[in-house]
């Protein structure tokens, strides 16, 4: 089986030695091979590995979409398939049809998720991209990794946000200016947030079950807590109005950590932002 993800299967001796998975994947990412895609290095905030708890800036590898589509591994899409896709959206009166009035943008999907790769619970976050009208069926062929991040090194959401910011800028280049090989410039647009289950022929929306952890604990609760902190800051707490917002958030975080230690509550958040 071949494709941009196929070589990742051998990481950690095909999973036998889980502690070596991240090392092997990173070696494949930075391998000096002229046939591999261009890797850019960006600075993102990550959790300090050594010394006292805190955040530091560190270089992180990422594949930018507007460069990826110029690589030989990227599929060459028939313009007729693109036209059919947008016509189908229009026929169903989808609001997405307005994204490309002239039906010229090649539709893309993007997806990110975490998976455990060590017995102690350490996880990896993988962000992938692909083409909606790519006719190939195997995931290792149609999924193109953009970034990989060890979850235990993330400084809250700011690490992912730093990665997504440059990916967003790259996607805007694809949408507004386009990219391609030689003089063939083609434009692209994100139209789907796609999960791997959608590739299963038997999958239907009726199989979806609500997940309280992701919807409440990792979803709604984060917005509620953040909104409450903002509300408290409007009442001149956490240092007062004469301080910078970042400093007041740091005070709020320190108070929260002190409360967590007193009440023996394990805290997984590294900062407030």
Return the pLDDT at 213. 74
Name the residue with higher pLDDT: 115 or 146. Answer: 146
DSSP 1-44: --STTGGGGGHHHHHTSGGGHHHHHHHHHH---TTSPP-EEEEE
Mean pLDDT of the chain: 80
All structural domains of the chain with their residue ranges: 6-207, 212-262
Q: What is the pLDDT of residue 90?
A: 92
**Virtual torsion, Cα 138, 140, 145, 150, nearest 10 deg:** 120
Query: What's residue 107's pLDDT?
Result: 93
Q: If we measure between CA atoms, which residue out of 124, 114, 151 comes closest to residue 12?
A: 124
- What confidence category does residue 269 fall into, taking pLDDT thresholds of 50, 70 and 90? low
- How far apart are the C-alpha atoms of 269 and 151, rounded to whole Å? 12
Give the three-class secondary structure for 210.
Answer: coil
Residue with tokens 């060890």: 150
Pick 69 or 139 by higher pLDDT. 69
pLDDT at 11 exceeding the cut of 90: no
| 2 pLDDT higher than 60 | no
Integer Cα distance of 30 and 74 in angstroms: 19
The answer, as to whether pTM is greater than 0.85, is no
Radius of gyration of the chain (CA): 22
Q: Which tokens belong to 110?
A: 């993007």
pLDDT band at 108 (very low <50, low <70, confident <90, very high): very high
Each residue's pLDDT tens digit, 238-251: 887 888 888 888 88
Confidence of residue 226 (pLDDT cuts 50, 70, 90): confident
Q: Which whole number is the average pLDDT over 149-178?
A: 84
> Tell me, what's the pLDDT at 10?
72
pLDDT given for residue 224 in this prediction: 87
Q: What is the mean pLDDT of residues 122-147?
A: 86
Task: Please report which confidence band the pLDDT of residue 31 belongs to, taking 50, 70 and 90 as the band edges.
Answer: low
Q: Indicate the SS3 state at residue 77.
A: coil
Q: Distance between CA atoms of 271 and 53, rounded to whole angstroms?
A: 10
pLDDT in tens, 181-192: 766 789 999 988
| pLDDT tens digits for range 53-98 | 778 888 889 999 999 998 888 988 999 999 999 999 999 888 888 8
């Amino acid at each position: 089986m071949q494709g941009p993800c196929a070589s990742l299967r051998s990481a950690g001796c095909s999973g036998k030695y889980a502690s070596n998975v991240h090392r092997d994947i990173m070696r494949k990412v930075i391998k000096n091979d002229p046939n591999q895609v261009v890797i850019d290095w960006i600075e993102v905030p990550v959790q300090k590995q050594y010394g006292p708890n805190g955040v530091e800036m560190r270089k992180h590898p990422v594949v930018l979409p507007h460069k990826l589509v110029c690589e030989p591994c990227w599929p060459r899409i028939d313009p007729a398939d693109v036209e059919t896709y947008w016509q189908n959206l229009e026929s169903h009166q989808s609001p997405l049809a307005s994204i490309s009035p002239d039906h010229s943008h090649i539709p893309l999907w993007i997806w990110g998720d975490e998976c455990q790769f060590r017995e102690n619970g350490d996880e990896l976050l993988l962000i992938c991209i692909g083409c909606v009208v790519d006719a190939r069926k195997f995931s290792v062929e149609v999924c193109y990794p953009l970034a990989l991040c060890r979850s235990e090194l993330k400084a809250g959401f700011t690490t992912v946000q730093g990665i997504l910011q440059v990916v967003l800028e790259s996607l805007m280049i694809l949408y507004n200016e386009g990219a391609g090989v030689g003089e063939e410039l083609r434009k692209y647009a994100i139209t789907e947030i796609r999960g791997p289950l959608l590739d299963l022929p038997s999958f239907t929306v009726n199989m979806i079950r609500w997940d309280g952890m992701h919807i409440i604990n990792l979803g709604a609760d984060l917005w509620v807590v953040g909104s409450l902190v903002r509300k408290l800051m409007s009442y001149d707490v956490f240092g007062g109005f004469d301080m910078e917002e970042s400093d007041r958030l740091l005070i709020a975080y320190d108070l929260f950590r002190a409360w967590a230690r007193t009440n023996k509550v394990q805290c997984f958040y590294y900062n407030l932002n």
